[in-house]
Amino acid sequence: TAAGDDIEDARSGRVHYDVFENYDMKVRVYGDHTAIVTGKTKIKGNAQGKPIDIVVQFTDTFVKESGRWRLAAGHVSRLKE
C-alpha cells in the first residue's frame, strides 16, 4: 500500500497498533547530508478486525536539507516467522 493509504487506515481506525517497536537499528552517515537507517520493527495489533503479529525489516534514507533531516526514501519487507 502507499504511505497515504497507511495513514488513512490508522486515522480511520481500520488499523490499530498495540505494539510498534523499532529495534536492531543501525545508522550509517555518509558525508554531511546523507544517512541510512536500517532496523526491524515488531508490530502487533489488528487491521480490519484481523490480528497482526509480524516483524518487518526496514531501510530509510535521509537527506539533510536546509539544516533538517528529511526522509528521502524508505523500504519495508516482512520477515518470515
List the domains of the chain with CATH numbers: 3-78 (3.10.450.50)
Q: For 17-74, how does the pLDDT look when each residue is reduced to its tens digit (9 = 90+)? A: 999 999 999 999 999 999 999 999 999 999 888 999 999 999 999 999 999 999 999 9
Query: From the CA atom positions of the chain, what is the Rg in Å?
Result: 15
Beta-carbon contacts of 57 under 8 Å, excluding residues fewer than 6 positions away, are 38, 39, 40, 41, 76, 77, 79
Alpha carbons 27 and 58: distance in angstroms, whole number: 12
Whether pTM > 0.85 for this model: the answer is no
Q: Which three cell numbers stand for residue 46?
A: 489488528
| pLDDT level of residue 81 (50, 70, 90 thresholds) | low
pLDDT value at position 8?
Answer: 72
- Between strands 50-65 and 68-78, the pairing is antiparallel
